[in-house]
Structure 1
Amino acid sequence: MRILFLHPSFPAQFHHRAAVLASDPNHQVVFGTMRPDGELPGVRKVYFNIAREVSPHTHHYVRPLENAVLHGQAVYRLGQALLSEGFTPDLVFAHAGWGLPLFVKDIFPKTRLLCYCEWFYRARGADADFNPTVPLQVDDELRLRVKNAAMLIDLANCDRALTPTRWQHHQFPPDFQSKISVIPDGVDTEFFQPEPEAKLALPTLDLDLSNVSELVTYVSPGLEPYKGFPQLMQAIALLQRRRPDCHAVIVGEDRTIYSKPLPDGKTYKQAMLESLPLDRSRIHFTGPLSYREYLQVLQASSVHIYLTYPYILSRSLLEAMSTGCAIVASQTAPVMEVIRDGVNGLLVDFFSPQAIADRVDEALSQPDKMTLLKANARKTIEEQYDLRQLLPKQVQWVFER
């Protein structure tokens, strides 16, 4: 079978699916992407790029759709190039919502189209109106409705779709939910496994915390409100006053991905460092890390904090659980699909730095209790999110009719 994956990044959520399909000599796997770095054995990478940026004169409600059309056109041109060399896919598996699948049925009319559907925007009841200090404006509500245009076209055109959590599935319109299966992405539990005696030393960053007895960790692609970064920093300030031996390691880029930038141009990291009484010798920002260094952070963690708006579930939470971390996480969807308070982690009010600090304090002060919770966290991943169990289901789903 000829299979074409489409994702702006590489290999993103398709990593393990593409790799296992490419390992079968009966399949020819091509991956269309905008990202040049990275390789997978047996997977041929091909590239597409948009012809221009979105026009600044386009109505701001419609800019995401224009951007999607530009990406869809780029994929169409890629399809033409593939056809010219004799490659017609039997199956296209595309990340939906960015425009990549928009014209797949036009360039490949007989090809089955599968979509990975991550998020459907809603003005009420999810992330958009979650923060009471940032009230939703009418303009936001109308803009969010239009922002779903490309996703709705993808859902109408695709043969079947997939999403990783029940919460994400619930966000999509009821008319389409029967078309969307729920299968988690899965965690490599052989790689992300506990190392009870682990100590943290990252020579590439000249960071040696091997003598630190209390290490609080936090991981996020961006340091921003959607991932509770302001509350995290306030909680760390409280913890530093209570626990003089406590250090914090923060992994992630100093950028915003989902949140609105600050009006004065500062990053949230800059704003929090300037406004809080922090002992900077005990707070360590690593920036992005290699997977091996990231694993070392998780293995050395005394308590791992995961905070999120009701939005997409980050892989980092599942990876931290697989590594046997003591988890303090926000009592938000879809976290509550995975964490049961007092069983495999501790849940906390997202908006309360005091409560976050209290629960971290509790975890650090009760290591015997945490031993059970850490074991249960690992067990949850092994039983429900282990890639070795989920990958065969994911591959089987690809070939179902």
Structure 2
Amino acid sequence: MKILFIHQNFPGQYKHLAPALAAAGHQCVALTLRVKEATTWQGVRVLPYSIQRKQGGGTHPWLLDFDTKVIRGEACFNAALKLREAGFQPDVIIGHHGWGETMFLREVWPNARIGLYCELYHRTDDQHLGFDPEFQPQVPLAETLRIRLKNLNNLVHFPVADAGISPTHFQADTFPEEWRGKIEVIHDGIDTTAMTANPDVRFSLPDGSEVTRNDEVITFVNRNLEPYRGYHVFMRALPRLLKERPNAKVLIVGGDDVSYGARPPKGQTWKQIFIDEVRGQILDANWARVHFLGKIPYDQFTKLLQVSRVHLYLTYPFVLSWSLFEAMSAEAAIVASDTGPLKEAIRHGENGLLVDFFDGDALVSECCRLLEDAEMRRALGQAARQHIVQNYDLQTHCLPRQMQWVDHLASLTPQPLRD
């Protein structure tokens, strides 16, 4: 079978699936913006394409998001035409449509089956758009209209795709009912053999010192430190947490940029805004126990989770982070926000603890309770790993189901072209 992958940052979510399909004897090709020259990666022929067109200066602000996706869709369309002219006719196209690249591929290959990675359908109800009262738009109704227009990319893809895949039920359930029936819920998978407990782990801190499992280590991880992932709630809880745990070291991973939600005022970062807010409440000796690590290599990230005594995770009702599942796989004791995405990952009191997203005092209290109770930490951590192994293990669960999903996709009748 000939399989074409589309991902602007390939391999992205396909870092396990694409090599597995290539190893199974399928001819796998990927189109991506990530490389500048054609290359081969784990049996996959990776081909570059580039964006030539710039955004128009007169685009309405509510349409800027869709404009970028059409531009990317056009660029991928042009690359697909060249690939077709070279004789490549995929049986299956697998793509992440979040950036728009797959928008026009049905026109290029009308007989291909198209399967999309369905990350999120943007909702405008209070649970989603109005979740955090602190960060509300100046004109809420106008923001509702803008968010509704963000779904234009989803809506133009619905008639194109034959099937979808989504990593969690929460994410899949954001999609409208008429599309939800096409989406299979299969997580990307956690390598539980690599991400496992290690009693002998040692993690180096920026000051040259080390922490081990004998140290009281509290971890907090975001891709970028921002309100969508509860950074503001965590930071406001930090002064009390440091006072109550005089021996704790707090290790914080995350960049200074914005992955989701609104940007901070020009020239500032959410990271520094909330540091400035709480720093005056924290003694210098206590602040010395807080370590901002930035973004770290994956091998160091693994050690970080293995050395964690309590891992804190907060999120808006949004896409669930891989880091939570990886922390659970490493047997970390979890305190997380009681928000929608966590419902299918954490059972309160069984494999972790849940607190109200906005309740910093509860976050501190539950963290301290775990730090005081080694048996509870052990039981929750072991149960957390068992949950991940049983439901999200890469080799025994997720990857085999992904392969079955591809076989199912290949058996479908392609969607007809529609005006």
Matches of 1:391 and 1:188 in 2, distance apart? 10
Q: Which amino acid aligns with 1:336?
A: K
**How large is the Cα RMSD of the aligned pairs?**
1.7
- Give the match for residue 334 of structure 1: 341
Residue 149 of structure 1 and its aligned partner are, at CA, apart by 0.7
Instruction: Sort the Cα spacing of 1:126 and 1:78 in 2 relative to 1 into closer, same or farther, 3 A.
Output: farther
SS at match of 2:61: coil
Rounded Cα–Cα distance in structure 2 between residues aligned with 1:79 and 1:113? 14
- Structure 2, unaligned stretches of length 5 or more? 412-419
| Cα 1:236/1:366, change in 2 over 3 Å | same
Deviation digits for residues 94-144 of structure 1 (CA, Å, limit 9, x no counterpart): 102321111001111111111011000011044311102233511110011
Partner Cα distance (1:35, 1:128) in 2: 32
Larger relative contact order (CA 8 Å, sep ≥ 6)? 2
Structure 1 position 280 matched with structure 2 position 280:
no
Residue by residue over 1:266-290, the C-alpha shift from the partner in whole angstroms, topping out at 9 and shown as x without a partner, is 1111112222133331111111111
| Alpha-carbon contact 1:212-1:245 (below 8 Å) kept | no
Q: Which amino acid aligns with 1:194?
A: A
Question: Could you say if the C-alpha distance between residues 365 and 39 of structure 1 is closer, same or farther in structure 2, counting changes exceeding 3 Å?
Answer: farther
| Structure 1 runs of 4+ with >6 Å offset | none
Aligned partner of 2:149 in structure 1 is 146
Matched residue SS, 1:235: helix
Partner of residue 306 from structure 1, selected from 313, 327, 332: 313
Letter in 2 for 1:361: C
Structure 2 equivalent of residue 253 of structure 1: 255
Match in the other structure for 1:218: 220
Residue 372 of structure 1 and its aligned partner are, at CA, apart by 0.5
The equivalent residue for 2:22 is 22
Distance, in Å, in 1 between the alignment partners of 2:66 and 2:162 is: 21
Q: 1:363 aligns with which of 359, 370, 373?
A: 370
2:225 is matched by which residue type in structure 1?
L
Give the number of equivalent residue pairs.
399
For structure 1, which segment, 268-277 or 38-47, has the greater mean C-alpha deviation from structure 2 after superposition? Answer: 38-47
Corresponding residue number in structure 2 for 1:10 = 10
2:107 corresponds to which residue?
A: 106
Amino acid at match of 1:326: A
CA spacing shift, 1:30–1:69, aligned 2, 3 Å: same
Determine if the alignment matches structure 1 residue 187 to structure 2 residue 190.
yes
One-letter identity of the residue aligned with 1:82: L
Q: 1:210 to 1:376 in 2, by over 3 A?
A: closer
Distance 2:342 2:47 in 1: 36
For 1:231-288, what per-residue CA distance to the aligned partner results, in whole angstroms no more than 9, with x for missing partners? 1112222111111111111111111111212225311111122221333311111111
Quick one: percent identity of the two aligned structures?
A: 37
Match of 2:296 in 1: 289
Deviation at 1:46, TM superposition (A): 1.0
Greater CA drift, 223-232 or 205-214: 205-214
More deviation, 279-288/141-150: 279-288
Partner in structure 2 of residue 230 of structure 1: 232
CA distance in 2, matches of 1:246, 1:292: 23
Q: 1:262 aligns with which of 264, 274, 288?
A: 264
Cα pair 1:97 1:154 within 8 Å, conserved: no
Contact 1:202 1:293 in 2 (8 A): no
Q: Could you say which residue in structure 1 is the equivalent of 2:43?
A: 42
Task: Report if aligned partners of 1:7, 1:94 keep a CA contact under 8 Å in 2.
Answer: yes
